Amino acid sequence: AVPREDQDAAHWAEVLRVNLIGPFLAIKHASRVMVPRGRGSIVMTASVAGIRSGAGGLPYSASKAGVINLAQTAANDLYGTGVRVNAICPGLIETGMTKPIFDGARARGNEAKIGQLNPLTRYGVPSEIAHAGLFLASDDASYVNGQAIAVDGGLSSSHPVVRRR
C-alpha cells in the first residue's frame, strides 16, 4: 500500500474509479436488462477491508466500504423490481493481488501462519469466493438482498487476535 503521506487525489480517484464506480456502472447497465424481466441478481466484490480497519490501505478500504453501501442503496433503489444486489467480502484469498504476501511468507517459511488470525486458521482459495457468488446469483438466494456476505474464515466476526495454545 502507498503510505498515506504519499497518496494524492489522483491515486484515490483511480482506486475509486476501478473499485466503486465500476460496480456502479455494472448495476446501471445490468439493471436495464433485468428490470424489464422482473428479476435478476447482481453480485459485487467488496472486501473485509470495507467492513473494518486493518485489512487494506486507506483508498482500497474506503472504496470497498463504498461497495458495501452501494449494495445496500442499490437494493433499495431497485425496490419492487425483482432485482437483487449483494456483495461478497472476501478475506485473505490466494490471488494475484495477494501473491506478494504469500510469496513472502513462503520464502520465510511462515506459510502455516497465513490466515492464523481467523477462527478457521487458514487462508481461502478463489473457488470458495466463486461458490458464494454462485449462491448469491442463484434462486437459492431469492430472499437475500442488500447484503454484504463475508467469506473470510470468520475474520470479521471478531477483532483478530493471535491465539496461544
Tens-digit pLDDT profile for residues 51-70: 987 777 889 999 999 999 99
What pLDDT, on a 0 to 100 scale, did the predictor assign at position 114? Answer: 87
Question: Which residue is listed with cell 455494472?
Answer: 26
Mean pLDDT, the chain, integer: 92
The CATH number given to 4-157 is 3.40.50.720
What pLDDT, on a 0 to 100 scale, did the predictor assign at position 165? Answer: 59
Active site residues: 60
Predicted TM-score of the model (pTM): 0.90
CA dihedral 92, 118, 116, 61 (to 10 degrees): 40
Q: Are 155 and 93 in contact (CB under 8 A)?
A: no
